[in-house]
Structure 1
Amino acid sequence: MNRQQLFANILRKRSFLCVGLDPDLDKMPASLEGDLFKFNKAIIDATAQHAIAFKPNLAFYEVQGVKGYKAFEDTVRYIRNNYPDVMIIADAKRGDIGNTSRMYARSFFETLDVDAITVAPYMGEDSVTPFLGYDGKWVIVLGLTSNKGSHDFQLTTDATGTPLYKNVLSKVSSWGNDSNMMFVVGATQGQLFEEVRQVVPSHFLLVPGVGAQGGSLAEVAKYGMTRECGLIVNSSRGIIHASSNDDFAQVAAAKAAQLNAEMAHILENYRFFS
């Protein structure tokens, strides 16, 4: 999925919602007996009309070993076959020496055929650039995350007073461009989105932390919106585990519709529609 297709889908659905497919076995209805794919299929069918992306997090599948990884593969295949307009983001946070990263890239972009993968940049350029050699695919690099521990490193400053995350954004953005690279910026960082946009004014940002983690959608849009939206806002637990009963899919649909309506209102206010 290229940048033009992504933006067209945002306009068509009046949404920049990403639904995180992070199925927690302890929060799934007992009637599903731990069947991750069955759970995901119901969530996907219930929310696809509101979402421009789905983001399965590998950890929630790998915990079940081979069975879980098969559920991940089946989930990707189901989205690709039934909702080909929806971006598939593998939340894997890969990043290793060049030869290993090349294998990761082949695994996710060739074998699995996802549209995007999250990558950790700590090991530098040769750990990231192998993911950039695929047309229509995206590398989503960790920039400024929403977790409490982000303050341990990302906000530390150098001798000039520049925080580490800004140096990361500046350096990493030079390896790709705004048509093959995005950055993760957590919704809980609020007004720092304005600082982020000073460094990467046109890149799309994948924004976790809205919903269960308390991030403000209005604040994210105020400081992070671009002329092409530039935002993919993720909600996981707040949608897929809004109910742990057999009505989980219906409740998830309602939660996704609510966020979709808020996003449509924001897009209208930013005059994306005539």
Structure 2
Amino acid sequence: MTTAQLISEIKKKQSFLCIGLDVDLNKIPQYLLQEEDPIFAFNKAIIDATHHLCVAYKPNTAFYEAYGLKGWKALEKTINYLNDKHPEIFTIADAKRGDIGNTSSMYAKAFFEDLAFDSVTVAPYMGKDSVEPFLAFKDKHTILLALTSNQGAFDFQTKTVGDKELYKQVLETSKTWHNAENLMYVVGATKAEFLEDIRQIIPNSFLLVPGVGAQGGNLQDVCKYGMNANVGLLINSSRGIIYASNKEDFVNAAAEKAKDIQIVMQSILSSR
């Protein structure tokens, strides 16, 4: 999917919501455990109920890898379902990969060619030769971890190295990499006060913003400091939507939570 197509979908749906599909079998409605593939059954129900309210889905691969082969199969069925039924929706493999060049090439092939995701999250710690293999794929996006929402982000990311914070050096350096136009960035919603400085460095890039909802991030603050002329934001909510209920009404509950967020987003967009 191209960036232009993503922007078009945001305008059409009046939404920049991304829904995280982080499936924990201990949290889903217990009756679904009787299904042949309870993970996919849960995902399919969530997608069917919310696809008109969001522009992206983000499965965190750890929640599938934890269940071994059956989990990976459920991930494959989920992405195939999305690509078949809702090709207009942007898909994110939240895998946080990043290794030496030839290994990164194989990770990129796994997520972009075999599973056909539109994007994948990547860690920048090993530098450009670990990231550029992902950037080489046409109309695919590499979402670089820039400033994350967890408390441990302050251990390294905000430390001053030389004359500026490390996360700012990551942002500036990444702009020099080959095919950098394919980069997006992860910036946690709990770090909204940093967004103004971040936009000075990467004014036009899309930001994937986790942490709204269960982690306490504020949507209005994120939009105030992080939104650009093309919106430039994908606001992720996972637990707050998909686990709005663990009973038989979970589909309606998830749709209601997603709708609540979409209504706020529509209001923000209409006021711009």
Q: Would you say same fold, with TM above 0.5?
A: yes
Match of 1:192 in 2: 194
Tell me the CA shift for residue 179 of structure 1: 4.0
- Which of the residues 73, 91, 105 maps onto 1:102? 105
* 1:1-274 aligned within 5 A: 1-33=1-33, 35-160=38-163, 162-176=164-178, 179-270=181-272
The CA deviation string for residues 99-122 of structure 1, in whole angstroms up to 9 with x for no partner, is 000001111111111100000010
Query: Is residue 136–residue 179 contact of structure 2 (8 Å, CA) maintained in 1?
Result: no
Q: Residues 119-164 of structure 1: CA distance to partner in whole angstroms, max 9, x if unpaired?
A: 001011100000011111000000000001000000100232x111
- Aligned counterparts of 1:256 and 1:179: Cα–Cα separation in 2: 30
Give the Cα–Cα distance (whole angstroms) in 2 for the partners of residues 14 and 175 of structure 1: 32
Tell me how far 1:178 sits from its aligned partner: 6.5
SS at 1:214 equivalent: coil
Give 1:91's aligned amino acid.
D
CA distance in 1, matches of 2:256, 2:153: 32
Cα deviation, residue 176, structure 1? 4.8
Deviations 1:38-58 (A, max 9, x none): 000000001100010000000
User: 2:269 is matched by which residue type in structure 1?
Assistant: L
SS in 1 for 2:121: strand
Contact 2:135–2:179 (Cα < 8 Å) also in 1: no
Contact 1:186 1:209 (C-alpha < 8 Å) held by counterparts: yes
SS in 1 for 2:125: coil
Q: Residue by residue, what CA displacement relative to the aligned partner does 1:184-240 show, whole Å, maximum 9, x if unpaired?
A: 000000211001111111100000000000100000000000000000000000000
Cα distance, 1:26 vs. partner?
A: 1.4
Q: Structure 1 stretch 17-26 or stretch 172-181: which is displaced more?
A: 172-181
Is the 1:210–1:233 contact (alpha carbons within 8 Å) kept by the matching residues of 2? Answer: yes
Give the AA of the match of 1:52. Answer: V
Could you say what secondary structure the match of 1:190 adopts? helix
Structure-2 change in CA distance of 1:217 and 1:239 (3 Å): same
Q: Unaligned stretches of 5+ in structure 1?
A: none
Q: What code does the residue aligned with 1:134 have?
A: F
Letter aligned with residue 26 of structure 1? N
> Contact 2:193–2:225 (CA<8 Å) still a contact in 1?
yes
- Structure 1 length normalisation: TM-score? 0.96
**Cα gap change, 1:169 to 1:223, in 2 (>3 Å):** same
Structure 2: distance between partners of 1:176 and 1:210: 32
Counterpart of 1:232, as a letter, is L
State the Cα distance separating 1:173 from its structure 2 match: 2.2
The one-character-per-residue Cα deviations of 1:50-88 (angstroms, maximum 9, x if unpaired) are 010000000000111000000000000000010110011
Cα pair 1:178 1:203 within 8 Å, conserved:
no
Task: Give the gaps of 5 or more residues in structure 2.
Answer: none
* TM-score, length-scaled by structure 2: 0.97
Report the AA paired with residue 193 of structure 1. L
- Code of the aligned partner of 2:72: Y
